[in-house]
Amino acid sequence: MTTYPVPVTDRRDRARSDAPVRRRPPLARLFLGEREDARWLRPAFWALLALTAVLYLWDLSVSGYANSFYAAAVQAGTKSWTAFFFGSLDSSNFITVDKPPASLWVMVLSARLFGFSSTSLLLPQALMAVGTVALVWGTVRRTLARLGSTTAGVGALLAGLVVAATPAAALMFRFDNPDALLVFLMTAGAYATVRALPRGSWRWIALAGVALGFAFLTKMLQGLLVLPAFGLVYLVAARTSWPRRIVGLLIAAGSLVVAAGWWVLAVALWPADARPYIGGSTNDTVLDLVFGYNGLGRIFGGSGNGGGGGATGGTAGSSFGGATGLDRLFSSEMGLEISWLLPAALIALVLGLVVVGRRRLADPARAGLVLWGGWLLVTGLVFSYMSGTIHPYYTVALTPAIAGLVGTGGALLWHARHRTTGRLGLAAMTGATAAWSWCLLNENPDWLPWLRWLVLAGGLLSAALIVLGSVPQLRRLVAVGVLVGTLCGLTGTTAYAVVTTTVGHSGSIPSVGPSGTSGGMGGMPGGTNGPGGSATGTGDDSSDSSDSGTQGGPGGTPPSGADGGQPPAMPGGTTGDGTTGDGTSASGSGTSLPSDSSDGGSRTGGGMGGGASTSAALEELLRSTDTTWSAAVGGSQSAAQLELDTDTAVMAIGGWSSDPTPTLAEFQADVAAGRIGYYIASGTGGGTGGGMGGGSSTASAIAEWVAANYDATTVGGQTVYDLGAGG
């Protein structure tokens, strides 16, 4: 049985030779391609990877530690293998982050190898961008191989370039959120699925299941949104008997369960008192996290999920996704991050299926369209209508699908350019991209104002040239129009992606585009012209990157009291900044702690996690402790920033999403055993400086107990209680 890709000429008047072709040695084939390939194809592929690497690795530390929540967990993993395994927020293993730990594993290994820094933290993320480009290229090339090596190669190069030039990718592959690994693993699953088709390979479809299993361990159910597309493609396009196809799918399902379930089972069997609390859950189990906070709660709301459009009336341009509906992906920050080539991808999907017509189900090009189209439609519809928490950067998961459709559909329409459908399809893709890019660029009219007009004029002119190519004497205009239209169509998205890489991003909900411009889409449906996040640069490897007070967490509601305003009064008559309700300093009787009222010793992004600062005095105080936790503070974001600033373990009371831990009795026991050095008051009910955890009733009870039994003092502008001084 013949496998593909096979060399097929692009020219219709050249007969295919049945003589065997001598292949190059493996190393030469890796760098130069097959002998039948155009000489420039494989070097162009390597140039694309090199360009992607330069773009994504250049000035990688501009964002500092990016999202301090995950950065602190990586730091903890470099100190404790237990923290590494569970994804603990702190090295003393009090609580985990609110996601499974697969993405942390990769970053921790990098930090252990090169030392913990901004660069070692983000290096794996950037390299995953290069890997994703390569996998998309390989997948598209194989599905298009029967169109000829040149057409397949050009379509694959176009798809890879679209991945690198997508603003959402430029944002998240230089950030420490789990989405980079998620996208890489889903793309690896797509590649393995396509490799399984020629012979119905059980090995390759099993590898696809393994990839999705680890995608589950990266971001849980979101990693399985591509599963229907992969399963359908293998079922209808694998070149083997129907019984073997079904067996192959069962093997893939088993591989997925094993790859995803081993960690879940290990956590379930591990004694609860010997491991950290599972952050985000209500009962300290991974399954509750899967089906609650990180699962159905994301789709339907509830289970600790705020925001979203349907459930809470969130507005586009906010830190959440805006109103639900088909226009959600085109509006607000989502539009700027992902929708540049979305119209072209949808056109390519519909007309590509028309072009393949009545070809057999196992046709590789049809399989490619079904794979990428199913990925785009299922994930896109879920993102459009989910009522729970959704942030604009989630849309990076659509990048490979859009790229694959543009490359696959564009190549099919080019191959059918002798037909009216092919020419009109190419013109429609070009014209729609130009018009939509003008709309997106027009939302930031002060940034490169000439660019949107260049893109619009060039794209519409190219579409006209393609249509004029219908005249027999003007057929050459089709090639000119496609070339110019492709360049113009990629200009807007590429410019926005490049400028995104030059700006430092911090906090939990970063946004794309040039610094100082709005992330909103005031003129788009549902737009409010409000920023979707913050963009701040630190320019070094320190922890100076702060979390904007307007940002929520990695999947939660923005914490109360984190809007930069004066924190409300603490139990005991003090506010979160260490002053009494009338503005006077609260000093503890009988307690002598170092204080620092100068500005010179503070830096942004401190323990408050909401735009406050960690003073040099507070850092020195916590570093001098030898307790299990140097301090306890309300909320994970506050604890995370303190950990980064002081290089100590900090107990995050309530975790990120008001987790019921620790109880007051547990906290009192830890204090009595001398395991906690200080308690830092940082907001309502004992601290909601970052992450919602500090706002729980448990946190309030702890804050009241501490205030009633210990004396408060001010250290660097923050209220601190010495838990070792006796109550």
DSSP secondary structure code for residue 311 in this structure: T
Mark out the alpha helices in 394-475 (DSSP H runs).
399-415, 420-441, 449-468
Query: What is the per-residue pLDDT for 236?
Result: 94
CA 266 to chain centre: 26
Burial of 119 per CB tally in 10 Å (0-12, 13-18, 19+): middle
Query: What is the per-residue pLDDT for 727?
Result: 57
Query: What is the per-residue pLDDT for 303?
Result: 56
pTM: 0.84
**Does residue 530 surpass a pLDDT of 60?**
no
Query: What is the per-residue pLDDT for 389?
Result: 81
pLDDT band for 608, please (50, 70, 90 cuts): very low
Greater confidence (611 vs 33) lies with: 33
Considering only 41-50, 398-407, 463-472, which range has the smallest mean pLDDT?
463-472
pLDDT in tens, 299-327: 776 555 554 444 333 343 334 667 888 99
Rounded Cα gap, residues 609 and 614, in angstroms: 9
Least Cα distance to 263 among 275, 273, 249 occurs for: 275
Rounded Cα gap, residues 403 and 406, in angstroms: 5
Question: How distant, in Å, are the alpha carbons of 76, 84, 477, 626 from that of 81?
Answer: 9, 5, 62, 20
**Does residue 453 surpass a pLDDT of 80?**
yes
Average pLDDT, integer, range 268-274 = 94
Considering only 167-181, 238-252, 409-423, 567-581, which range has the smallest mean pLDDT?
567-581
Write out the DSSP string of 265-317.
Answer: HHHHHS-GGGS-B-TT-SSS-HHHIIIIIIIIHHHH-BTTB---STTT---TT
Question: Hey, how many other C-beta atoms are within 10 angstroms of the C-beta on 480?
Answer: 15
| Strand-pair category, 676-681 with 712-715 | unpaired
What residues contact 13, with CB distance under 8 A and at least 6 apart? none
Query: What is the per-residue pLDDT for 441?
Result: 94
Average pLDDT, integer, range 145-164 = 94
Considering only 60-64, 334-338, 481-485, 613-617, which range has the smallest mean pLDDT?
613-617
Please report, rounded to a whole number, the percentage of residues in the chain having pLDDT higher than 90: 63
Rounded Cα gap, residues 662 and 634, in angstroms: 11
Q: Are 643 and 622 in contact (CB under 8 A)?
A: no
Rounded Cα gap, residues 686 and 678, in angstroms: 13
Query: What is the per-residue pLDDT for 301?
Result: 64
Give the pair of three-digit tokens for residue 204.
Answer: 């390759």
Average pLDDT, integer, range 516-531 = 36
pLDDT band for 499, please (50, 70, 90 cuts): very high
Least Cα distance to 503 among 53, 52, 58, 51 occurs for: 58
Query: What is the per-residue pLDDT for 321?
Result: 67
Q: Report the number of secondary-structure helices (H) and strands (E) in the chain.
A: 25, 9
Least Cα distance to 415 among 12, 139, 5 occurs for: 12
pLDDT in tens, 178-199: 999 999 999 999 999 999 999 9
pLDDT band for 164, please (50, 70, 90 cuts): very high
pLDDT band for 425, please (50, 70, 90 cuts): very high
Query: What is the per-residue pLDDT for 696?
Result: 64
Q: Omega before 343 cis (within 30°)?
A: no
